[in-house]
Structure formats: C-alpha cells, structure tokens
Structure 1
Amino acid sequence: MNVQDLYRARRGSADDALNHLRDGDFIVVPTGVGEPPALLTALSDQRRRFQDVKVGQILPVQPFGYFDPTTQHHVRHVAYFFGGASRPGGQAGWTDFIPSHFSEMPSLIRRGRMPADVVFALASPMDEHGYMALGLTADYTMAAIAKARAVVLEVNPHVPFAFGACHVHISQVAALVESETPIKEVGLPVVGPVQQAIGAYVAERIEDGSTLQIGYGGIPDAVVMQLTAKRDLGIHTEMIGDGILTLLESGAVTNRRKNFMPGKMVATFALGSQRLYRFLHRNPAMEMHPVDFTNDPYSAARNDKLVSINATLQVDLLGQCGSESMGPVPYSGTGGQADFVRAANRSEGGQSFIVLPSTAKNDTISRIAPVLTPGTHVSTGKNEVDQVVTEYGVACLRGLSAKQRAAALIAIAHPKFRDELTEEARKLRLL
C-alpha cells in the first residue's frame, strides 16, 4: 500500500477518531497552538462517554469543554504548565499539575514516568514521501508519538511543514482528520514604561554575536525591540515569536557566529501571528526540534555568549526566584527557565537575566521580598541565578556573598520599600 492509500485508509471524522480512546487513557497534546481544535472539540462534546481520561498539555490556548469541574471524572486536564485556559482549574484544585523541567519531559515519557497512551496533535499536510510535520511544536510530543498506543493527527493546511526533528510518517498514524481552521494567533504582550526600562538595562548588556533565548512576556519583548541595532545575533530558544522576526528583518539576527548549529535558528514551539507560522514553512534557516534538544543545558551552552531572558513573579534576598506560583497558588509552571539559566551559566561569556517589575498591585507590594511568600514554588535556585533586573537597575548575583546579594537586590527594589527591606534583612542577619 502506498502512502496515499495509507492516508485515505486512516482519514475519517473527529468522532471516528475517538474510537481509539479507552477509559483511563492519558492523551498527550502539544504546547499552545499545536493543540488540535477539531479533535479536542469532539472530545469535549463526547466527554461523558469516557471514564478517567486525562489530557496532558503545556499552555492550552483554548478553553475546551472538558475544562469543566462537573465532568472531571470523565475527561480532565492535567497541566504541565498553566495558561489562561487551565489556570482557573489549577487554582480551584480540580486540574492536576505535573511539575518537571521542560527539557526532561521527553525522557520521562520514554522511561514511562509520565504517561502517553494516545497523542492528539495538529500536523501539516503530508508530503510525497508520507511525512507530516508537527511544525508548530515538537516539544515532548515527538517522544510521546514514539511511545503511544495510538497517534491521531489533525491535518491542517495552515500548519507549516518545518524542518528539524518534527516529522511523523503516515505509517505511525492510527487515525487522522482534516480541518482548515486558521491557526490561533497569540498577540504580543503590552509593553509599558516599566517594561521598556527593564528592557533597556538588559539590551545594553547584550553584546554583538550573542545567541538568544527569549521567553514570553512584555519584558522579554521590550528587550527584543531594543536589540535591532545589534549585529550577528543568533537564536537558540524554546519559543519563537514575532519579536524574533523583527530582529531577523532588522538584520540583527544572522546566526553566523553561533558555535552550535551556525546559520540555523532553533526552537521547540511557536507562538505568535500567521506571519510567524508562514515563516516556519520549509525555511532552511529555521528548525523545530524536541525540547530535550533545544533546552538541554549542555547543548545550548555550546553557543558562546548564550543569553537567556526570563520573567519571574518574586525574588527573595538570596536570589531565589518564584516564577510559577503566588504563594502556594499556581500561576504558570516550571517550563524552561531553569534549563536556560543553567545553559547560560555554562556558556563561555553567557549571561542569564531574570526580569520583573519592582512592584505589584499598583505599587502596594514589593516583588523583591525578604523571603519568598510561604508555599511559593521555587523555580530557579539561589546558586543558579545570575542577574536580576527591575526598572531600577541590575543586581549581578553570581559570586556574591549572602550579605552582598541582599544589598544588591535592595538597591534595585522600589525606593518606597528599601528601608523596610533593609530592616528585614538585618533581622535575617543578611545585613
């Protein structure tokens, strides 16, 4: 049977595809816009026919019907990282959470430590050789495809056929459905004066020839907007967004001076506009790879001058970062922050920046705190944090004593909280 015959034999409706599910199955879904809307809508509509089916995913972008506490015993979401669709369930306690470094998820799936019975994923149309691309996200899904009992793809002509290790052959597929819904766009975050000030501090420290990992958020985007005059930057990141396209079009990104995979941009998932998604299609300068490749600290650190830029919610006076919860209340997840902080620390000339506004709730709360709020999930430890940046400056922490760290962090706190922080630091014997 040739690949076209295989394709026709596996093609059917989304309702038909659900016949591959069994009670108790764990469905793995790709990050963000790699989620297959027709399949997940059908699952939502028919969720009451199943018992104890779980859907694991990082950063869902649509609140499908199974995000419903009244039917959680039929089908429920399991978060690898909370987003807008899954956060209410996580905070209310009816959505579970599996913490893990992003880079380690494929290994955990391969070893059977994280379940993967079925994969539901969005894919590009098939090429003449029988391959489809998970062109929007390779992440942990490629490992799940190799492990799963059944792989179900939603084929959509708007999904780019990207290069890299993100291809699935029709012989690996149990069922597929076709859809033409445009890929969901995720707009750029709002960048205000605080974000601009933080971005300026970071941008002035980034040298020509650096390789960048840029997280999502207003502050990382503010940094990107101030790098257009740099030269010979490279990209080795987990997420590619529209800001990176701006750098490419300005001539700031050439990838020529990368030590690892020179001439290539590397990412594991895309999040942005239709323009970004079109950019990924058969672009020889761009490759999508699984997250254990992109986020592996040892591989990423092969690039000299690796720069990581990631946001946090709270920092204590030793430099510990709580980036994924507000006290014990979950907000996001572990993601790849620690992966790239470690990578930048290993890189020759590397730098990692943890960025945050100095205050929250209209300047009533200092985000730099004597100690983290009780119950806070520590995302990046004190021994790994390099530079912390607020709108008031940069605290370079590596190599400093505990007392020096406290003084440096107080100096970049909001002025109205500095006396209070100094007094608390004295009580903690940090000053």
Structure 2
Amino acid sequence: MAAETRFMADVEACVDAIIETVGRDVVLGMPLALGKSHHVTNALYARAKADPDMSLTILTALALEKPSPSSELERRMLEPMVDRIWKGVPDFDYMKDYRQGRLPDNVKIREFFYKAGSYMNMPEAQQEYISSNYTHVVRDLEVNAINVYCHIVAKGEENGRLMFSDSCNSDLGRDVIAYMERAKAAGRKVVHVAHVNRHLPFMYGDAVNGPEVFDMVLEGEAMHTPLFSVPKASVAPADHAIGLHVSSLIRDGGTLQIGIGALGDAIADSLILRHEHNDVYRNLLADAGIDEQYGDLVDSLGGRAPFEKGLYGATEMLVEAFLYLYHAGILKRKVYGSEPVQRLVNEGKLAERVHPEALALLLGEKPFYPMLTLEDFSLLQHYGLFREELVYDDFSICESSGHRWSADMRDGAYRKEVAAALCGDSLKNGVLLHAGFFIGSNDFYESLRTMDKDERKLFSMTGVDVVNQLYGDEKLRALQRKDARFINTGMKLSILGNVCSDALEDGRVVSGVGGQYNFVAMAHALKDARLIMMLRSTGFRGGKTVSNVVFSYGHTTIPRHLRDMVVTEYGIADIRGRSDREVIARILAVTDSRFQEGLLKKAKDAGKIHPHYMIPDAFRDNTPERLNALAAKYKKQGVFAPFPFGSEFTPEEQILGKSLRGLKQSLAKKKWPAIAGILSGMVKPVPEAVLPYLRRMELHEPVGFKEKLLRSVVIHALVSGGSLDTAAVRQAAGSPGRMKSRVAKATAR
C-alpha cells in the first residue's frame, strides 16, 4: 500500500515525482490495449528524448494506433473516418517515432502481444517481443524489473468513500498491487500511478480499489480524453458459417468464452438467431448440412433450441457481442462466489427465488455447520439467503424485534426453524460474466457508461489470474464454469492437429500467445468443458488463395496432444482422443476441397493414413461457391449480414471498403486485366449509382489526370465487385428488422 497517496493535476509534476522517486532509469509497465495513459507515457518519452542520459523501457501490449494512409486513395478514405471515430483521442508519440525508425537509443519498447500483423517488418519489434502466457505477464514484468506502473482508471464514490475502478483493465490489477507491495518491502523504489479518465465506465468486481493502493492519482481537465475505439469488423460469409457451426456446440446452461472481431460477432449472431428465430436457425442448420453430418455431436455437446437456462460468460475479454447476448436474454445464468451456494444452484436445489429448504440445507454443510460465524452469516446475507435487516452479534442472529437466534446449527429441526423464520426472498449479487479487460467501439463504451449501477455489477471485472485459470479456487471455478466452451482462433492447422496462432515458421511474431494456452489447458482440466479452435480454411497470400490447413508447419502454439475440436467454415472436426489416422480424416473433411487431395497424398506418402482411403463424397464440396449460395438464400431473412450488430462506418464506407479490398486482390491475381479495366473506365460515362461513393471520396468533380484516374479506380472497384447491387448496399448495414429489434430490447432494458 502507498504510504501516502499524492493527488496531482499536472502531468509534468507527476513525471517529476516519478523520476525523483525511481531515478532516471525508468522501466514503465502499462496494461494491454485501452488502459494506457497517453499523457504520462508521452511526458516520460519526451523527457527521455530530451535527456540521452535517461533510460526508458516501456513494457506493454497492443499499443493502439489510429489507421494511417499509405496512398492518396487511402488518405481520402481514412481521414474523414479518423476525424469522426477517433476525434480527440491522443497518439502515443513513441509509436510515431517507432514506426518511422526514429526511436532514440535510450528508449526500448517490449510487448507481449501485438495487433495482428502490425510489426511483421520491424526487426526491432520482432527482437524485443516477450512471449508470455497472459497469466504470467506480471511475473515477467517483475523479471524485467518495472519500477513504474501507470494506467487509466474511473473515479466514483461507494458508500460515501472515494474509490477508483480499473475498469477496462483489471486483468493485471491485483497482481500488480501485490508486486508493488513486495518491491517496497524489499526496499525498491517503485511507483504506482492512476490516471483518472471520466470517459471510462466505473466497473465492479476486483476492479475497485481505494486510493491507498496508488502512490499518485493524476487528474486534470485536459487529461479526460476520449477512449480509443475499435470499430466492428465486417463478417464474411465464411465467418458466419464458422459461427453457425460453433453456435450448435454451445449447451444451454453452460459457459462461454469468445474474443473480439468478426468470428466472435459471427458466433453471437448465430446464437441470437438460435434464440430469437429458432425456426430459421433450424432450417439453416439443415441446409448447411450440420444436422446430417454433425447431428449426434450437436445432440451430445450443444443444442438447437432457444436458451432457457441461459449462458454465463467467463472470458478474458469482455467483447461487445456479450452485451448483445445479454439484451437478447441469452447471457442470463448467474454465478455466485460461494462454493456451497453455487453447488446448490447447479443441482437445482437453489433458485433465484429462495426457499427456506435451501437455506436449511446450507446451514447443515461446512463451513456453516456446526457453528455459524460472522463471516459465514455475512456471506449468506450478501447472497440474499438471510434477510437484509438481520444482524449477527455474539454468536446470535438478531431480528429488529430483538429476538435472538443461536448460531449453533447442530440440530436439524432447529436449522429448519431458523431458515423458515429468517430466509431472504431472492438470491442477490450474482454475476453474469467475469472478464479481465475490454476494448471496443464508442457505442460499446457508451452502453457500459449509461447502464444502471446494479446492472453494471452483473459484468464483473477481475484478474486474468482468476478468469484464465482454475488455480487458487478450483472447486468454485469448476462449479461456475460448467459445460464451458472456450473458443479461440488459429492461423494454421496441421493435419495431425498442431495449431499455430501467434507467429510464422520463420519466427516472426504476428500477434502473441496471450491467453490461448490458458484456455486450452482449462478446457482439458474441466471434465465437461471443450476447446473449440476456429480456423478460416484458406487465406490470400502472394496473389493466390492458400490453404490454412497444411501437412506440417514450422511453428506451433498449441501442440497436437492438446487437440480437441476444430471448426472451419466447412464443418466440425472432433479430434480429442482420436488416432492420427482419424485426426487426419476428420481434418481433411473440414478442409477446402481445392486442397484436400494434395494433403491426402502427403499423408499417404508418410504412411499416416491407409493408402486406399478416399475422402467421403459428403465432404468434397467444401467450396466458397457453396457457402455463397447458402448465404444468398438466407440474406433476405437478415442472416449473413456483413455488420450484424451495426457499424461506426457509414453505408458508403462499408461498400467502399469491401470494394477496394476486392480490387486489391484482383490486382494481385490478375494485374493487367484490372489495370485495363481502370484505364478504359476513364473514357466511359460515370454511372449515376456511384455518385454517393465518389462524393464520399471527394472525387465527384475530379481536377486533373490524377484525380480522374483515382475516380476510375473507385468506379472499377465498385462495378467489378458487384457492390452497386441494391441488395448488397442494403446488407452492408445489416438487416434492418433484426437490428431494430435489438435496439428496442437494449433501450427497454
């Protein structure tokens, strides 16, 4: 604990105090993603740039950067979006210099997780990467001897006392506080800095701390800057198909962990379809071949019916999709922080409406039996099993009337009498979700900020040491996380079941391990849990389509002895406990058909599958054409929408983004035909339908040859990509009917 917390309003004075305390060798730790303080970091970096004798090492993950253009066309596309979506959000000065190769020699950047692909061609970043499980991050910060930890917090008042919430980043909070205490006890000079930002929602759970845990609290009007937004990604038909398969593996009454991005949104969208439009969902399962090929697996592990019991979220990241599941009435299974209470809930003996019989059962079990202590009484009262007005005093439970009940619970008849007289009405303080951190869109932050306090408490922020593993409270966490489905994403999959998720085979880091191994290990440790590894079956590299399912790969994140379930857009491969021959056959069944035979031949040449084995006919039509036909059939019903939960991009921007990405692929595949189409377009009339898009790009009245060429590029991208079709324009913003129903539900709540 801090000896005396210093409250400060000036960032330069704060940095003066930091350097005065720890010296000019500063090792700064910052949270992953949103929780960083731009102001303190930029001020420290400015000092280091100005003073070559000062040393600054920054340890963090996911340094957030606004998109920057690399061409004139990108500039026209990006500048209005950046001004609208990230207006007022500061930049990290060190990142701008880092990108341009101008980082001073006395400054070092080390990260344990990257935005996917962001540092592929930066040797310094590749060399300074720290590979670490998320649960080991604070341990590794300690190895690197951080002496400053700084993060943004929300400020509030609880029971008349000033309190702070780690809000978006409780992931490392408890471990950092413990580390600071150990360092100070050992005589080290360390500083814990909280920077208050009123735009953060005040979140509860383990995120809440008093001011005494911080050495400095920094708050000034200029430092209440907007939060960094991550706009929702578009969801392609293949992503929707993956989400559809996964949604059928989720058991009602179970536990869900998903991540950010298109695949997480696809899963949530299919789960909502299953719950709200079950007839459409069942028809889709049948048309997609899921019933025929995986019906038995769905029956044993998941389900097709709407959610009656609902789901609980135990997730490293609170993603916006969970709020949509909540408003749809799917995220509704509450858990409680008491092992005996949670066990009775799981057994169906204790429900939201409390009955005296349940309280009597609890009073006959340890730790409440044989003598109820103050701690025991307080716990049961906290969860609503004892009435709120009761008081514990000197081994007695006292009513407001003055009647006293002995806390001795050895007699069964007496326990029933106590329960009948003192039982509460309903369970309280349950939690719908535990998470370690969050980041998302501006709408997401606003939703959390404007939630009623009691509603916000349903989303409990805690450390990754809690949510990413079982250690420390295994029995309770196992009870809470029943029928868990831990869903992660891989980049490459070998036909023997090895998964590569974080780096290329030449060693270059794409993203990081993060918490993936933690969830893999937990899925195997919990008897009723399953790991679902999602994989897009193909990618686009070097101007051609390549298979993400390979015979072997030179880097592995999750080894094959930890294999479980793999889901691609073409199906489900249940490979837990299977022989190599079975694993190969099942993985080939979910591989893009353009690559199946080549992989099968390699397996046969290696003697890993029978020489006469043939891929069954049912799995020989794994093609994008089949998926696109399925998507076209259901888009009229609001399914397979590119933005199922809305977007911060305008409809024009959504269409332009898709079209320009398609043109980039066309140029990579067939360069000269695409160029010919662009040049010929310069002398053709401008279609009226493209005018809104040209106005958005400020190319509707081109001046000079360069602007006319850019206009032709945009027109060719729109026309060749089929983006001018009215239905395509409508679908870009999602299905109006489904979106309106979701907005209405959210507003009603």
On whether the aligned pair clears a TM of 0.5, the verdict is yes
CA distance in 2, matches of 1:253, 1:218: 19
Tell me if 1:139 matches 2:171.
yes
Equivalent residues of 1:90, 1:96 under 8 A apart: no
CA shift at 1:353, angstroms? Answer: 0.9
Q: Out of 145, 148, 170, which is 1:115 matched to?
A: 145
CA distance in 2, matches of 1:95, 1:130: 43
CA distance in 2, matches of 1:419, 1:207: 35
CA distance in 1, matches of 2:325, 2:504: 33
| Unaligned runs of at least 5 residues, structure 2 | 66-90, 181-189, 276-305, 337-341, 344-428, 610-749
Equivalent residues of 2:531, 2:565 under 8 A apart: yes
Equivalent residues of 1:238, 1:269 under 8 A apart: yes
Tell me if 1:401 matches 2:479.
no
Letter in 2 for 1:368: V
Q: Out of 458, 464, 468, which is 1:295 matched to?
A: 468
- Name whichever of 334-343 and 277-286 sits farther off: 277-286
Summarize the alignment of residues 252-331 of structure 1 with structure 2, pairs less than 5 Å apart.
252-256=330-334, 263-280=431-448, 282=453, 283-298=456-471, 299=474, 300-302=477-479, 303-327=481-505, 328-331=507-510
Summarize the alignment of residues 31-430 of structure 1 with structure 2, pairs less than 5 Å apart.
31-48=32-49, 49=51, 51-62=54-65, 64-67=92-95, 68=98, 69-83=101-115, 87=119, 93=125, 96-109=128-141, 112-127=142-157, 128-148=160-180, 149-178=190-219, 179-228=223-272, 229=275, 230-231=306-307, 232-256=310-334, 263-280=431-448, 282=453, 283-298=456-471, 299=474, 300-302=477-479, 303-327=481-505, 328-361=507-540, 364-372=545-553, 374=554, 376=555, 378-430=556-608
Equivalent residues of 1:36, 1:121 under 8 A apart: yes
Q: Deviations over 1:66-103 (max 9, x none)?
A: 23243252223211101269625755546611111112
Equivalenced residue count is 421
Between structure 1 and structure 2, the one with the greater Rg is 2
Compared with structure 1, are the counterparts of its residues 113 and 41 closer, same or farther at alpha carbon in structure 2 (3 Å cutoff)? Answer: closer
Letter in 1 for 2:329: G
In structure 1, the partner of 2:670 is none
Q: TM-score, structure 1 length as denominator? A: 0.90
Equivalent residues of 1:27, 1:54 under 8 A apart: yes
Compared with structure 1, are the counterparts of its residues 101 and 84 closer, same or farther at alpha carbon in structure 2 (3 Å cutoff)? Answer: closer
CA distance in 2, matches of 1:10, 1:86: 37
Whose helix proportion is higher, 1 or 2? Answer: 2
CA shift at 1:44, angstroms? Answer: 3.5
CA distance in 2, matches of 1:390, 1:84: 20
**What secondary structure is seen at the aligned counterpart in 2 of 1:413?**
coil
In structure 2, the partner of 1:25 is 26
> How large is the RMSD of aligned CA atoms in angstroms?
2.5
CA shift at 1:271, angstroms? Answer: 1.2
Equivalent residues of 1:301, 1:346 under 8 A apart: no
Q: Deviations over 1:141-188 (max 9, x none)?
A: 432243241012211111122111123432332333322111112122
Equivalent residues of 1:155, 1:177 under 8 A apart: yes
CA shift at 1:425, angstroms? Answer: 1.3
- Name whichever of 309-318 and 292-301 sits farther off: 292-301
Equivalent residues of 1:66, 1:72 under 8 A apart: no
- Name whichever of 233-242 and 95-104 sits farther off: 95-104
Compared with structure 1, are the counterparts of its residues 214 and 344 closer, same or farther at alpha carbon in structure 2 (3 Å cutoff)? Answer: same
**What secondary structure is seen at the aligned counterpart in 2 of 1:383?**
helix
Compared with structure 1, are the counterparts of its residues 45 and 88 closer, same or farther at alpha carbon in structure 2 (3 Å cutoff)? Answer: farther
CA distance in 1, matches of 2:148, 2:335: 41
Compared with structure 1, are the counterparts of its residues 412 and 86 closer, same or farther at alpha carbon in structure 2 (3 Å cutoff)? Answer: closer
Q: Deviations over 1:374-413 (max 9, x none)?
A: 2x2x222212221111111111111101121112111211
CA distance in 1, matches of 2:115, 2:448: 24
Equivalent residues of 2:120, 2:509 under 8 A apart: no
**What secondary structure is seen at the aligned counterpart in 2 of 1:104?**
helix
CA distance in 1, matches of 2:148, 2:121: 23
CA shift at 1:120, angstroms? Answer: 1.2
| Unaligned runs of at least 5 residues, structure 1 | none
Letter in 2 for 1:191: V
CA distance in 2, matches of 1:213, 1:160: 22
CA shift at 1:196, angstroms? Answer: 0.6
CA distance in 1, matches of 2:264, 2:137: 24
**What secondary structure is seen at the aligned counterpart in 1 of 2:60?**
strand
Equivalent residues of 1:217, 1:311 under 8 A apart: no
- Name whichever of 67-76 and 177-186 sits farther off: 67-76
Whose strand proportion is higher, 1 or 2? Answer: 1
